[in-house]
Amino acid sequence: MSEKSKVVEGSPPDYPRYRVEPGSKVSLAEIDPDETERYRKKKDVAKKLEAQRRRIRDLQERLYAENRRGLLIVLQAMDTGGKDGTIKHVFGGINPQGCRVSSFKAPSAEEANHDFLWRYHKSVPAKGRIGIFNRSHYEDVLVVRVKGLVPEEVWRPRYGIINDFERTLSAGGITVLKFFLHISKDEQKKRLQARLDNPEKHWKFSSNDIKERALWDAYQAAFEDAINNCSTEHAPWYVVPANKKWYRNLVVARTIADTLEAMDPQYPPAEEGLEKITIPD
Ligand code: ATP
Ligand code: MG
């Protein structure tokens, strides 16, 4: 991780933030996907994860009641990187009324007939809500670039277009947080193998994943460019060590809780004179 993204001694909270500072350049090969701070196993963080989930739950309630601002969480990763597992474990306990997950696959014919941001913009959370993008507008500079689905003169300008889009959201009261769940190529092999070995995981296996795996280096390069070109003050990227699922969950949960806490959502003022009201029998 670059010097700037390391924790500054004594600055609260004093754990690694994994934030890619705007203007800095990260090299994914230099970021250890096995990192787990001082923790060794899932049990070491179980209570900590629960505490973070509680923070998210309480703050989400306030965000919903305030109804002035929203939070968009973008999850991106290589195949098997853990987007689904993160959603399940980090958001499992929150009020479904205030939260929506949008998953993006290859565009439908209708979606493909619009500008590339159209389908994403429609799914951006409303005020008071949390929106989770399982894959996102970044696919349009990732798979689209790696597979050559459009020429470079089409995808290259998209970094700037994406920055402008995210600035628009942020100016409209939507905070944008982006996570790259960083796994190693070996870890992906293990996870794909596990999907083959376990009949209950067969449904998750797609032979296309093997084809995509062959393009590992091209994807890493595309992710690196997306992260370096689009980590901004208004919409930072976080590169999360994700080989250990329990550590990944902890990092994502506390980053979201810290962000919500910094937003400091407030309950709206109560109606005047509530203390004088008696509920009729
Ligand atoms: P995941 O792999 O995210 O857990 P999944 O297995 O349910 O999801 P897949 O069909 O494997 O679903 O993933 C969705 C596919 O859609 C991916 O291969 C992704 O690259 C592709 N995709 C997403 N957005 C776009 C896009 N804008 N253009 C082309 N392909 C896209
Ligand atoms: Mg898949």
Distance (Å, rounded) from C-alpha 189 to C-alpha 205? 12
CA of 200 to the centre of ligand 2 (A): 15
Check residue 14 and give its pLDDT.
Answer: 81
CA of 195 to the centre of ligand 1 (A): 17
The residue ranges of every structural domain in the chain are: 3-21+33-263
Dihedral sign (CA 212, 204, 194, 240)? positive
240 in Cβ contact with 20 (< 8 Å): no
Check residue 11 and give its pLDDT.
Answer: 61
Beta bridge partners of 241: 182
Q: What CATH fold (topology level) applies to the domain 3-21+33-263?
A: Rossmann fold (3.40.50)
The atom number, within ligand 1, closest to the CA of 147 reads 29
82 in Cβ contact with 194 (< 8 Å): no
Check residue 160 and give its pLDDT.
Answer: 98
Nearest-CA residue for ligand 1 atom 13 is 105
CA of 269 to the centre of ligand 2 (A): 46
**Mean pLDDT, 10 residues at a time, the chain of 281 residues:** 47 84 95 96 96 96 97 98 97 91 98 98 98 98 98 98 98 98 98 96 94 98 98 97 98 97 95 92 92
Quick one: which ligand is closest to 87's CA? 1
